[in-house]
Amino acid sequence: MRCNHIREQWDELWEGEATAEVRQHLTQCAACARHYRDLRLVRSGLHLWKREEAPEPSLGFAERLVRQLGEMSKAPSVADFFESVGRRFVYAGLVLTFLALLALALPPTGPVRGLTAADIQISAQEASLAYSDPMEETNWQETPDLAPVEESAPAVPNEVK
Amino acid sequence: METPGAQIVDEIQWIKRAQQGDAEAFGPLVQKHQQRVFSLIYHLVRRRDEVEDLAQEIFIKAFRAIRSYNFQSSFATWLSRIATNHCYDFLRHERASRVSFYWQMGENSQQELESNAESQPEQVLDHEEQIVLKDLVDKLLARAPENDRKILMLKELQDYSVEEIAEILNLKPTTVKVRLHRARKRMLEDLREWREENKGHAL
């Protein structure tokens, strides 16, 4: 008998006793003997647990439980209330999350608004750039900065200067 | 004395009344199944002081869910399923201990215990050896993956058949067999690894 055969019979060994053939192999193979010894050790421990008697229910356990259940079914359960309210919060949260994801998935176009004075000014600057000769040095110098037009700074009172 | 057939009819009546919200009708169901539930909890959790509180929670849970019981499986199996899941919620945060009395024994005592466990029935072992062995298995079970633990405890400690375990865990019997085989194997592998970790720590 080889080690493989022993390992194939593992479940049988777990539930029953080793056959004479297996026992003979165990006397010749240290690895399998170690394995079998562990198996017996664990199995004995499990059997000891199995034999342990569970504690008895205390006197009147069922009666107390029924009384408790009766009281619980009379009064509307606070837990049930919170459960139903909580469930609504979860649904609302899911809807909001879905809407937020939808908003993120849409193309990032801004809201439609009317033209402002600053927009018209920038458009005029862009138009003048389009018709100017970029190679002309004078035009380079004269080309206004495309940065947003800032309002002129308020005059500083003379006292501060 | 009632015949088994009459008992089943009674049980069906109690269940139907409990499904209408009749807490009184749930009483006989508790009486009938409390011993089995206590035993299941004790073997799953292995702490005497927790058993009654857990049993109470399980029966309350069962009463609240009783409308979902559809008579497809036996009431005992349905209740065992609730009890198993509840105990696992309780155990989920349990931290596996790295200490066991077994590793604190001297190497000679370990070998003596192994040899005794191999050669004689476990009930013949002396009291101290029994405590050490139970502690070792308790810790090994606590270290095992959740699915392994469930199957090992239902089979090895509660002595359920493969078919009953399949019903409780909603699995096919062949899946239970495969998982049981793997769980046993993994438990022994874990013992070997644990032994390596503790080599030299023995007194």
Verify that B18 and B68 share a domain, yes or no.
yes
Contact status of A54 with chain B (Cβ, < 8 Å)? yes
Supply the ipTM of this predicted assembly. Answer: 0.82
Distance CA B165, CA B146 (A): 15
A55 touches B at CB < 8 Å: yes
Q: Is residue B96 part of a domain?
A: no
Interface test with A, best of B133, B148, B154, B191 (most A CBs within 10 A): B133
> Is pLDDT above 60 for B33?
yes
pTM for this structure? 0.67
Residues B83, B140 within the same domain: no
| pLDDT tens, residue by residue, A103-126 | 888 776 655 566 667 767 776 777
Query: Closest by alpha carbon to A66, among B96, B123, B63, B147?
Result: B63
Report whether pLDDT(B36) > 90. yes
The domain spans of chain A are 3-51
Percentage of chain B beyond pLDDT 90 is 57
> What single-letter DSSP state applies at residue B156?
I
Average pLDDT of chain B to the nearest whole number: 88
Mark which of B68, B91, B114 sits at the end of a domain.
Answer: B91
Pick A75 or B53 by higher pLDDT.
B53
Please tell me which residue, B166 or A156, carries the higher pLDDT value: B166
Examine the domain organization and report whether B68 and B108 are in the same domain.
no
> Which of A8, A41, A51, A77 has the most B C-beta neighbours within 10 Å, making it the best mutation to test the interface with B?
A41
Instruction: Name the residue range of residue B180's domain.
Output: 101-197
Q: How far apart are the first and last CA of chain A?
A: 108
pLDDT tens, residue by residue, B61-119: 999 999 999 998 999 999 999 999 999 888 876 666 666 788 778 788 888 888 888 88
Q: Give residues 56 to 115 of A whose Cβ lies within 8 Å of B.
A: 56-58, 61-63, 65-66, 68-70, 72-73
In angstroms, the separation between the Cα of residue A57 and the nearest Cα of chain B is 7
Domain with B119 in it: what CATH number?
A: 1.10.10.10
* CATH number of the domain to which B10 belongs: 1.10.1740.10
**Confidence grade of residue B197 (pLDDT, cut at 50, 70, 90):** confident
Domain assignment present for residue B82? The answer is yes
Total number of domains constituting chain B: 2
Contact (CB, 8 A) for B155 and B122: no
Burial class (CB in 10 A: 0-12, 13-18, 19+), B76: middle
Averaged pLDDT for residues B41-67: 94
Tokens of A121: 């000014």
How high is the pLDDT of residue B112? 86
Q: Judge whether B19 lies within some domain.
A: yes
Say if the Cβ atoms of B191 and A41 lie within 8 Å.
yes
Q: Find, in chain B, the residue whose alpha carbon is nearest to that of A55.
A: B48
Integer Cα distance of A58 and A77 in angstroms:
27
Residue B86 amino acid letter: H
Is B202 part of a structural domain of the chain?
no
Going by pLDDT thresholds of 50, 70 and 90, the confidence category of residue A132 is: low
Whether A161 shows a pLDDT value over 90: the answer reads no
| B51 shares a domain with B33 | yes
- Residue B113 or B164, more confident: B164
Model pLDDT, residue B189 = 92
Whose structure tokens read 């509840």? B86
Q: Are residues B44 and B122 in the same domain?
A: no
B78 found inside a domain: yes
B9 within domain boundaries: yes
